[in-house]
Amino acid sequence: MKPLYNKTQIIHSLSFASNSAFKKVFEDESTCKKSYEKLQNFVTEVSKKVFLDETIKKLIGDDWETVWGPVVYSHDHNSSFAVADNTMGAYYSKSQNLFVIAIAGTNSISSYGWIQEDFHVNKTAVWKDISGKGYGDISQGTATGLNILRNTMKYKNKNLLTGLKDFIIRNDVKLAEVAVTGHSLGGALSPALALYLSDKQSEWDPKKTMNISTYPTAGPTIGVHKVYSWPSGETGKSFTDYFEEQIKKNRIKCFGIKNSLDIVPLAWNRTDLATIPSLYKNEDKDKNIEDVSFGNAALIAVLNLFKKSNKTSEARKQYIYKHIKGIELKKGTFDDKIDNIIKDKFKLLKGITKLYNSKYIPKSLHSSIGNLENITRFFGQAAYQHTTAYAKLLNIEVFLNEFTTIINSDSATDKEQHDTQMVIEMANEALGFDINSLLELSELTDEELEKLIK
């Protein structure tokens, strides 16, 4: 069966399918091990369902088989519940002669993922210490995540490289493309893993016939372009130089995508970070969310990650992060629908605030509802642009609709309901209380509410 999707769409579809454990919590009061087993079983079952789904078969092809995984990593071994910090799987289609190694993005409920991988950028790791080749540094957070993918994760007691090698030899695979892909955190880890596979190719591809590529989306920068050590000036060649040398030598290809309205790819380059507060600037006043406190706070917070109070040699270095070549900038579109959902909620909230005074509304919110509305609009737009917007940019909406149905089979919702609920949850997190429960307290008619708003 010839798939309806092209190769790029297929690769990105499997990238997003690696995120089945997003916001999932599995609990067993007896042992943490059993909680983790439930989590791992869920991810494995979803993977099987994806490749058996008739709609998805038509989109990506019907001869995909599992090479390795999927494997879930959960750092906390002492809790009664388990959440996914990292997830990765490798798959192969014989008819397309294509391997896809898919790496999940940040799980929003994984504190380990946020702190130890995403935000650990004020220290770096030497690339040559990781792969045995090359030069330059990558962020310590990326190095931590990469170590989990290449060493900690095991499938049938084999790491990824061994699993790949055994499959290639057993099936006599030749001249296949090995595409490493991921979104968000996966968008940072996928090019790093692809380069690692290139540097270590002789260990998993003895005949060296495979063609290595990477298809990251929405990823932050991972490598240091320049290191300044005051007052001596620039020192050494950079990781981005090394990566781009491998591209020129045709040892690796990069086909990355970033949304122009997505905050995450602006990290961790200081110049890019400075554009965050005005990212959603718009001449239309109804759409403008410029210079809100959330944007400024986000900028200050990320810049503070580069500061250290001690006087070690690390503290005297300033890391200049830069994207590798091959990351294409796609023009994003401000989402009116998401923005209007939030503004409508706040219209009701303002009306109820006037009607009930301080009975149900936290006193601290009375004088700052306007600012909170802007913050929530910024937060909601940022969440949308980093997630759902990519379905349109990559043209894989049909796949994601079907995938969403699979992972939420007990309570499947259509895409419109899913997007709306996502934004409401983001607004609730930003505000610190449930807007919906507050609105339920009101028995206002539309006419009464209009009078209050005016």
CATH number of the domain at 229, please. Answer: 3.40.50.1820
Provide the pLDDT for residue 32. Answer: 65
Provide the pLDDT for residue 310. Answer: 35
List the single range of 145-154, 216-225, 289-298 with lowest mean pLDDT.
Answer: 289-298
Mean of pLDDT over the chain? 82
Among the candidates 326, 355, 384, a domain finishes at: 326
> Domain check: are 345 and 247 in the same one?
no
Q: Is residue 136 part of a domain?
A: yes
- Mean pLDDT within 8-30: 90
pLDDT-derived band at 285 (thresholds 50, 70, 90) equals low
Cβ neighbour number for residue 203 with a 10 Å cutoff: 12
- Mean pLDDT within 168-193: 97
Instruction: Report the phi/psi class of residue 316: left, alpha or beta, with left for phi > 0 and alpha for psi in -120 to 50.
Output: alpha
**Which one is predicted more confidently, 130 or 352?**
130
Among the candidates 308, 326, 344, a domain finishes at: 326
> Domain check: are 242 and 365 in the same one?
no
Is residue 107 a contact partner of residue 83, using CB atoms and an 8 Å limit?
A: yes
Percentage of the chain modeled with pLDDT above 90: 52
Provide the pLDDT for residue 277. Answer: 84
Provide the pLDDT for residue 312. Answer: 43
Q: Is residue 100 part of a domain?
A: yes
**Which one is predicted more confidently, 224 or 20?**
20
**Which one is predicted more confidently, 191 or 226?**
191
Provide the pLDDT for residue 411. Answer: 36
Q: Is the pLDDT of residue 454 over 70?
A: no
Among the candidates 326, 343, 376, a domain finishes at: 326
Q: Is residue 39 part of a domain?
A: yes
Number of domains forming the structure of the chain: 2
List the single range of 106-120, 289-303, 430-444 with lowest mean pLDDT.
Answer: 430-444
Q: Is residue 289 part of a domain?
A: no
- Mean pLDDT within 154-163: 97
Question: Model confidence over 112-137: pLDDT tens digits?
Answer: 888 888 888 888 999 999 999 998 99
Domain residue limits at 411:
334-454
Provide the pLDDT for residue 28. Answer: 72
> Domain check: are 112 and 231 in the same one?
yes
- Mean pLDDT within 35-57: 95
> Domain check: are 213 and 345 in the same one?
no
> Domain check: are 26 and 174 in the same one?
yes
Q: Is residue 445 part of a domain?
A: yes
Provide the pLDDT for residue 392. Answer: 93
> Domain check: are 249 and 343 in the same one?
no
Is residue 315 a contact partner of residue 308, using CB atoms and an 8 Å limit?
A: yes
pLDDT-derived band at 33 (thresholds 50, 70, 90) equals confident
Provide the pLDDT for residue 227. Answer: 62
Provide the pLDDT for residue 316. Answer: 41
> Domain check: are 248 and 344 in the same one?
no
- Mean pLDDT within 132-158: 95
Q: Is the pLDDT of residue 102 over 90?
A: yes
Q: Is residue 74 part of a domain?
A: yes
Q: Is the pLDDT of residue 453 over 50?
A: no
Q: Is the pLDDT of residue 417 over 90?
A: no
Provide the pLDDT for residue 76. Answer: 79
Is residue 86 a contact partner of residue 153, using CB atoms and an 8 Å limit?
A: yes
> Domain check: are 159 and 75 in the same one?
yes
Q: Is residue 280 part of a domain?
A: no
Q: Is residue 247 part of a domain?
A: yes
> Domain check: are 254 and 338 in the same one?
no
